[in-house]
Structure 1
């Protein structure tokens, strides 16, 4: 017979940023442990609970004892277990006794070949695991496997023993229906008592009636919404109601909502406000300080502008919330005053005046300071700008790159590193540098994460590319290549940023050439005097001087990221392989090539042509070169080879014209007309004939076929 099971750990306040994961993991691990011991009924329902002071799980359909099951027990080799007369030897009798059997079962033992050895096996019925034992084992395993970021060691009540957990645990509940399951963990024996809200519980301790009354008793007696998900929904509901009253909208921030949900057990949303004078400070600063320091939700108007009001989620519900609101308003006033002070102080110095101090900010012990890095980045940005739009863009990119890291030395960014770039933009605008330069300073970090927007203008594109390429080339140059999950310098993100910018901005830049130009700038650019004396291995000894191997490794790395990114966008592995096999250097072409391949693949002729293309490639691989470049029409003896030559001659100009016009889809679809002459050629023409002239002429014909078919993608990949 099955009943429902409730397990709870009552703890001191858990880390809010980890609570959601801890709650889900505790439930998943406990369920997995019970399931492995056949203690769960089919279709058992699991409900995870997590609040600042508890981790709990409710599971339906849990058996008091698992069903017995037949087990085949391996004993020992026949030669060891039985003597010459087939009687049990002492070792066999001893083994049987340990399993609760005797000599009477010897005639019923199975003899089975185990590898090359004939072995004795015994069929037994294993008793099902008792819930007490199974839950004890599952609980210990779950506690040991929880994703705890940092373990705390604390003493137990006896004053001598100590245990390790994320926070001290004060009580353990284990109820199977209404019965206590006598398990223990972390020095605690299971019971049925828990604690409600620290200040608002009607009853403390709360004595649970049974496993199913847990959530309701905590709510009605303890003023606690035990479910993380339900508590979050309630907070969202209250936030929406409070925001509507103010005719404003709360800032959308899922991570902050999760954190606030993990801080309260009985949420109560209240509205506060601050002085309008603080709105003179950039709203990003105000929003960040309210979110990061106070866990408030700032309110925005219909235009997305910050209002001088905010919402806070309190853990208490006083009759008069005025004191709570006033206290929070005093705290936020101090925080915003600090932000305003930083902003006012920062604007007293220009970005350019801060540049010399970048020489004291170490970027990497093998690569020097941010000042030296800026020296390279601006040269790379200028080079990219020159290629994209000439001298004017090159000059703007140089200026923006020069100032891009200056805000690292401001008080505001020192307090809030997340604002780097953003504050640089505000300070640049304050100095009247113009939006092209200002936005480039902010945008050169973009894209910062998957799905992030790209730089808004070409100046920002140049600096963003330069910043990422300099990082990639230099890090690969000193051997800092990501391995496994380790990527301390976010090189995968930088590579994806380069890929997205080149493709989505349709930049006519060749990746191979671009990386080589960056390498040359870093190798050849003369180091100014202020950095020349630095004892930095990569600067003084130029450890990776030509960096040919580093360049190759980096290209491979970027192409791997590109292939993965394209597959994540929904392209098949075949489509991606077909396009990337040709190693296209202009990445902005890749989406059009993929679209063309996808359109070609659905044609009735596609599979046949792909197979033929693969066959042609294999034939050509076996040639030693030295064949003519042009087909000699006088040597075309067979009607089939004449027909193929005629088809190639007719279609070649059409496909090239479409290709040159960027119409890759049409260029590939024209190839459908080749199916019949190609099939006929392979049915009736022998390529590797003894006559050298005929053989070479047919190889030239196939080489032309191979070239025309693989201009956009390696179509043979579609045959795999």
Structure 2
């Protein structure tokens, strides 16, 4: 009657298809070193993912990423020359629409097949399948789609991968024809695509794939390097081109050389970001040791270390006491027989840098910190919040208020002095050159000015914690000043509507909130969060709108994150350190439900929260816990529907059933004990006393109707439930534990 799909349309089934390993390399000009690892991983992972999607690579296929300053490459195992054909089932339409009374195809069915299959529209009705689609019987047609060949599949994959590389900033450059422009992270000069020993004919960025690549610019034994096959890539690059192609292998080689030169008497500063950046700068690392004059060690070591790391990408060396030595390590990209010229050149450059640092340090000490404070009036902090001087005055007031609460007038005076001088080092030459040293230099200059050590430490520490894992301020004056600094930033920015959204947080308010949380909790400070926010808001006066509620929500959300990261999973502490760098060998995790139960009450004393969590965890292990949590949830729903927010007084004379009397008596006996334990800070004892309520509570709900028609009787029973609800939810919202 008509043509079939497998006939005149020419679709054939694939025959045997052996797999081979695939190598793809893009040779470019020097890539951004800080982004190199991310670019290399993205190139390899997304290339494999695209080939898998097209059926050219299987789930067993794995990719190896290669990334050096001048190349991105991926080696993928078990890639097919041709993807297997796919059988696709097409839903056409309901049988009642597609077939007439005689079982022949309707015009609608013929039109649908024409759109779907083109010239293959004449399909015999018997070749169509019938199957239920929900409650309707529908017509289906199965066809075979020929699998993609590697050349077309790899071409598609490369275009997708290059379009989606995590490139921060593109370059636009012209191809050799002088007319065509290309946008890419850096100009590309070569493309390799090998399937086993065979070239895959693909092209991107104006390049056509071949088997030739380039080695090291200066150390390569051969140029170009002709690759034998996909598997010889790394070996040939290293032996013929003096290039360690793998990022991880090159990084490991640098670490081994750093350790060897440092020896047993010195230790190089382990900076992961610097190590990754240097790995992205060299193709054949050669670590050398340099020296500088010991006189420079009179400058604070933080300045010297930052100069070496940031400006020169050197690794400073510390002695066994953690003090900076006059030696440093250079990671060179060339390996001459005599490296003395390289060492001397780097020493000469560093000497100039260190001389600048010493000059800044000497000049800064000619003026006291106190003499710089007035000049802060010329530095704008925020156009709606005034100058840095305005900010310092607010921090001073907040720090003094906190100091009075925690240690009286003496601590308030120390905290106030540190706060008043806390931002003065922003006007020094050293901090202008290295903003990372703000606070640190203030501490050094305060000591030089003859201020008390506690005040100097407080000035240095008031930015802490600067990041996850950072230490907290070392004395109470520093604690007060650090809290004041962070509270001022949070309340001020929220008060003018500068609230973080998504991943945008230009004023680091999430970090400030986490700093407040860590200080209050880990320093066990008996301060109330709502009071701190209200006091801080009052100091701003009319400059800001009242934003305490929004800010409070923000802080509690960060608090949930803090406890989830720090205490959620016992396995996270296998290293002995938690997420924030504290000792975690004895910590036991809390479940999300337990954290939610405690934070639902919005406890204002953050230093109490861990005790509450410990109590909730102990309560949850009791056999009565599940039933009481479910009952508490039920009681909460009843009271919510009845619009009762507080516990009214129960009239004992109106209690009718034995179950009512039993619950009332149990509450009268247990609630005062639980309240006393709560007031004494024994949260575990307070919750465990409630376990005795299980039986009278169960009896009450088995035999008592709460919502009776008699309003007086109903309100009395609701008051009894309100008392029960209040007694059960002093430590945490127990209903959150219900499954």
Interval containing the TM-score (normalised by the shorter chain): over 0.9
1:130 pairs with one of 149, 152, 158: 149
In 2, Cα distance between equivalents of 1:386 and 1:575: 35
1:163 and 2:182 aligned: yes
In 2, Cα distance between equivalents of 1:370 and 1:111: 77
2:498 pairs with one of 453, 465, 480: 480
Which deviations, in whole Å up to 9, do the C-alpha atoms of 1:85-136 show, x marking residues without a partner?
7476897499379645252545534577989999865321111000000000
Please list, as runs of the form range in 1=range in 2, the aligned pairs for 1:319-334 lying within 5 A after superposition. 319-334=337-352
Which deviations, in whole Å up to 9, do the C-alpha atoms of 1:286-305 show, x marking residues without a partner?
00000001111000111110
2:597 aligned partner: 578
In 2, Cα distance between equivalents of 1:299 and 1:100: 75
Which deviations, in whole Å up to 9, do the C-alpha atoms of 1:147-184 show, x marking residues without a partner?
00110011111111110111111100000000000000
In 2, Cα distance between equivalents of 1:128 and 1:330: 62
Q: Secondary structure at the match of 1:103?
A: coil
Q: How many corresponding residue pairs?
A: 698
**Contact 1:397–1:460 (Cα < 8 Å) also in 2:** yes
In 2, Cα distance between equivalents of 1:115 and 1:679: 45
2:388 aligned partner: 370
Q: Secondary structure at the match of 1:480?
A: coil
2:261 pairs with one of 242, 250, 255: 242
1:440 aligned partner: 458
2:166 aligned partner: 147
In 2, Cα distance between equivalents of 1:138 and 1:120: 35
Of residues 447-456 and 289-298 in structure 1, the stretch that sits farther from structure 2 once superposed is 447-456
Deviation at 1:696, TM superposition (A): 4.1
Of residues 130-139 and 67-76 in structure 1, the stretch that sits farther from structure 2 once superposed is 67-76
Deviation at 1:622, TM superposition (A): 4.1
In 2, Cα distance between equivalents of 1:183 and 1:495: 52
1:34 and 2:51 aligned: yes
1:646 pairs with one of 631, 645, 665: 665
Of residues 617-626 and 9-18 in structure 1, the stretch that sits farther from structure 2 once superposed is 617-626
In 1, Cα distance between equivalents of 2:647 and 2:122: 87
Which deviations, in whole Å up to 9, do the C-alpha atoms of 1:239-260 show, x marking residues without a partner?
1111116x20000101111011
Deviation at 1:491, TM superposition (A): 1.1
1:398 aligned partner: 416
Please list, as runs of the form range in 1=range in 2, the aligned pairs for 1:60-459 lying within 5 A after superposition. 60-73=77-90, 86=105, 92=111, 95=114, 99=118, 101=120, 103-105=122-124, 108-110=127-129, 121-244=140-263, 247-459=265-477
1:605 aligned partner: 624
Of residues 620-629 and 159-168 in structure 1, the stretch that sits farther from structure 2 once superposed is 620-629
2:15 aligned partner: none
Deviation at 1:636, TM superposition (A): 3.9
Deviation at 1:385, TM superposition (A): 1.1
Q: Secondary structure at the match of 1:319?
A: coil
Of residues 134-143 and 353-362 in structure 1, the stretch that sits farther from structure 2 once superposed is 353-362
Structure 2: runs of 5 or more not aligned: 1-17, 569-589
**Contact 1:628–1:696 (Cα < 8 Å) also in 2:** no
In 2, Cα distance between equivalents of 1:174 and 1:365: 56
**Contact 2:92–2:112 (Cα < 8 Å) also in 1:** no
Check 1:691–1:356 CA distance in 2 against 1; reply closer, same or farther (3 A cut): same
2:550 aligned partner: 553
Deviation at 1:484, TM superposition (A): 1.3
1:562 and 2:579 aligned: no
Which deviations, in whole Å up to 9, do the C-alpha atoms of 1:384-434 show, x marking residues without a partner?
111111111111111111110110110000100000000000000111111
TM-score, length-scaled by structure 1:
0.92
In 2, Cα distance between equivalents of 1:123 and 1:652: 71
2:734 pairs with one of 692, 700, 715: 715
Deviation at 1:75, TM superposition (A): 6.3
In 1, Cα distance between equivalents of 2:256 and 2:651: 80
In 1, Cα distance between equivalents of 2:128 and 2:554: 60
Of residues 125-134 and 391-400 in structure 1, the stretch that sits farther from structure 2 once superposed is 391-400
Deviation at 1:683, TM superposition (A): 2.1
In 1, Cα distance between equivalents of 2:395 and 2:543: 20
TM-score, length-scaled by structure 2:
0.90
Check 1:670–1:94 CA distance in 2 against 1; reply closer, same or farther (3 A cut): closer
**Contact 1:82–1:92 (Cα < 8 Å) also in 2:** no
Which deviations, in whole Å up to 9, do the C-alpha atoms of 1:307-335 show, x marking residues without a partner?
11011111111111111111111111111
2:37 aligned partner: 20
Check 1:107–1:363 CA distance in 2 against 1; reply closer, same or farther (3 A cut): same
Deviation at 1:29, TM superposition (A): 1.2
Deviation at 1:72, TM superposition (A): 2.6
In 1, Cα distance between equivalents of 2:69 and 2:513: 39
Q: Secondary structure at the match of 1:4?
A: strand
Deviation at 1:620, TM superposition (A): 2.8
Deviation at 1:646, TM superposition (A): 2.8
2:586 aligned partner: none
**Contact 1:82–1:89 (Cα < 8 Å) also in 2:** no
In 1, Cα distance between equivalents of 2:626 and 2:28: 63
In 2, Cα distance between equivalents of 1:143 and 1:117: 45
1:537 aligned partner: none
Check 1:60–1:630 CA distance in 2 against 1; reply closer, same or farther (3 A cut): same
In 2, Cα distance between equivalents of 1:43 and 1:99: 37
Deviation at 1:645, TM superposition (A): 2.8
**Contact 2:490–2:512 (Cα < 8 Å) also in 1:** yes
**Contact 1:436–1:457 (Cα < 8 Å) also in 2:** yes
1:700 aligned partner: 719
Of residues 211-220 and 446-455 in structure 1, the stretch that sits farther from structure 2 once superposed is 446-455
2:634 aligned partner: 615
